[in-house]
Amino acid sequence: MQGLASDKGLLVPETIPTFPAGAPEIWRGLSFEDLAFEIMSLYIPREEVEEDALRDIIKRSYSTFRDSDVTPVKSITDDMHVMELFHGPTFAFKDVALQFLGNLFEHLLKQRPGQTITVVGATSGDTGSSAIHGLRGKKGVDCFILYPDGRTSRRQELQMISILDENIHSVALGGTFDDCQAIVKACFNDHPFRDAHSLAAVNSINWARILAQQVYYVHSYLKVTQAPAPGAPAPKVSFSVPTGNFGDILAGYYAKAMGLPIDQLIVATNSNDILHRFFSDADYSVNSGGVAATISPSMDIQVSSNFERFLCHMTGDDTAEMHKLMSGFEETTKLQPSEALVAACRKEMVSARVTDEEILETIRDVHARTSDSYTLDPHSAIGVAAARKIGKTAGVPMVCLACAHWAKFPDANQAALGEQTSSALVVPEPLASLHTLPTRVKNLPNSVDEIQSFIKKTLAARNA
């Protein structure tokens, strides 16, 4: 539950498990829920969560999704597919992990009578609403979500501030997402504050989120491939992943490391391209110009927290080297990786940067070329555009991760398709009615002290 380790680092598995003999083929035909149980069981020991309890947590988590397949796969060309990750309560991919995490937190707290936790998280848009919907009404949990004021889409903001449960506290911060994330890390690194309020994480610094996301890589693999003939090699699949904080594609790396036959993992970035610069030029440095505001706001970040986990594995879990690397980055805002480390990373992933204009062109093109006028949101379009830039291996299906429903970002679709076409698109009722709901939000400055003071006062009032 804690997220950050006591030494400021991130928690990683001591060992990455491997698939059992015959997997993933032996899992063909399983429901998403049953597949989730098989994969999560490789990491979660029975003494932590019993089998029946884990099955119940999974069942309750995914019963909230609108599609029985949870993360269905749609074809946009013969060998290019989109995996729709937006069928949860908030129409964003983070529901897959955060519905699970909310129920997992509740289960663990039931095993510890009297214990409470305080969730503190940062969001560039989707994490916050997904966390809030996953944790609303949960006993023993108070949830504080920081988001950059004016830098999310209006529907993303309304999904957060329209939840009025007493344990939910939305904070509009005067700053960027990186500022929000820095404050969250500062709270976790303030050990007296962390311990006094039993802080828990919902950002992808919480490894349980990465665990839940591994499931849909395997699920989609089984959807777009056929069982091989006896003696034939397992078919491969490539994935193009819109990437901001690196959590989603890290889950793909773990799936590959466990045994999923992945050909390519494509890191797809927007103009905030620190990850693309690393893979292309070995340059992982903070842009002095700050975060660029784009039409894909959920990816508007400078520092990708989960990249640290990937680097750790690429060093062979050399914690001394990681301490040196990350301490240097914290001091200079520029990573100094060895040539060997960069080469190891490039063996696992490739990258592409996608501009706003390329996003709009991709939305237009896919809408025009598909028989059902398929509509991408701007983040999902980055995945498709990056896949086209990189190119695919002949005969290997390409799965592009569709992170959010287009209706969460109507301005981008209007810019891409024109007002007449975009206005004819049907907005799902839960999103269309958001503007009619009452709201509650706390506006605060970019200050660790102000945030900690608000948390202390709110918890004191709640517990009075």
User: Where do the domains of the chain lie?
Assistant: 80-85+208-424
Whole-angstrom distance, CA of residue 301 vs CA of residue 361: 23
Q: What is the pLDDT of residues 333-377, one digit of tens each?
A: 999 999 999 999 999 999 999 999 999 999 999 999 999 999 999
**Confidence band of 77 (pLDDT split at 50, 70, 90):** confident
CATH number of 80-85+208-424: 3.40.50.1100
Q: Looking at the predicted structure, is the pLDDT value of residue 78 above 90?
A: no
Question: By percentage, how much of the chain surpasses pLDDT 90?
Answer: 89
The residue among 341, 330, 184 whose CA lies nearest residue 278 is 341
Q: What is the pLDDT of residues 9-20, one digit of tens each?
A: 899 999 999 999
**Confidence band of 33 (pLDDT split at 50, 70, 90):** very high
Q: Looking at the predicted structure, is the pLDDT value of residue 177 above 90?
A: no
Report long-range pairs for 151-154 (Cβ below 8 Å, ≥24 apart): 151/124, 151/176, 151/177, 151/293, 151/297, 151/300, 152/123, 152/124, 152/125, 152/128, 152/297, 152/298, 153/125, 153/297, 153/408, 153/409, 153/410, 153/411
Cα(first)–Cα(last) distance of the chain, in Å?
25
Q: Looking at the predicted structure, is the pLDDT value of residue 240 above 90?
A: yes
Contacts of 254 (CB under 8 A, 6+ apart): 16, 210, 214
Please give the average per-residue pLDDT across 113-140, as a whole number.
Answer: 92
* Residue 134 token pair: 């996953």
Q: Looking at the predicted structure, is the pLDDT value of residue 54 above 80?
A: yes
User: What pLDDT does residue 288 have?
Assistant: 87
**Confidence band of 431 (pLDDT split at 50, 70, 90):** very high
Q: Looking at the predicted structure, is the pLDDT value of residue 127 above 90?
A: no
Q: What is the pLDDT of residues 397-428, one digit of tens each?
A: 999 999 999 999 999 999 999 999 998 999 99
Q: What is the pLDDT of residues 197-218, one digit of tens each?
A: 999 988 788 899 999 999 999 9
pTM for this entry: 0.93
User: What pLDDT does residue 464 have?
Assistant: 81
User: What pLDDT does residue 329 have?
Assistant: 97
User: What pLDDT does residue 463 have?
Assistant: 87
* Residue 186 token pair: 């500062």
User: What pLDDT does residue 79 have?
Assistant: 85
177 vs 68 pLDDT, higher one: 68
Please give the average per-residue pLDDT across 442-463, as a whole number.
Answer: 97
Burial class from Cβ neighbours inside 10 Å (0-12, 13-18, 19+) for residue 175 reads buried
Contacts of 289 (CB under 8 A, 6+ apart): none
Q: What is the pLDDT of residues 245-285, one digit of tens each?
A: 999 999 999 999 999 999 999 999 999 999 999 999 999 99
Residue that is written with structure tokens 């991709």 in the block: 362
Q: Write out the catalytic residue numbers.
A: 94
Please give the average per-residue pLDDT across 112-139, as a whole number.
Answer: 92
Q: What is the pLDDT of residues 293-340, one digit of tens each?
A: 999 988 999 999 899 999 999 999 999 999 999 999 999 999 999 999
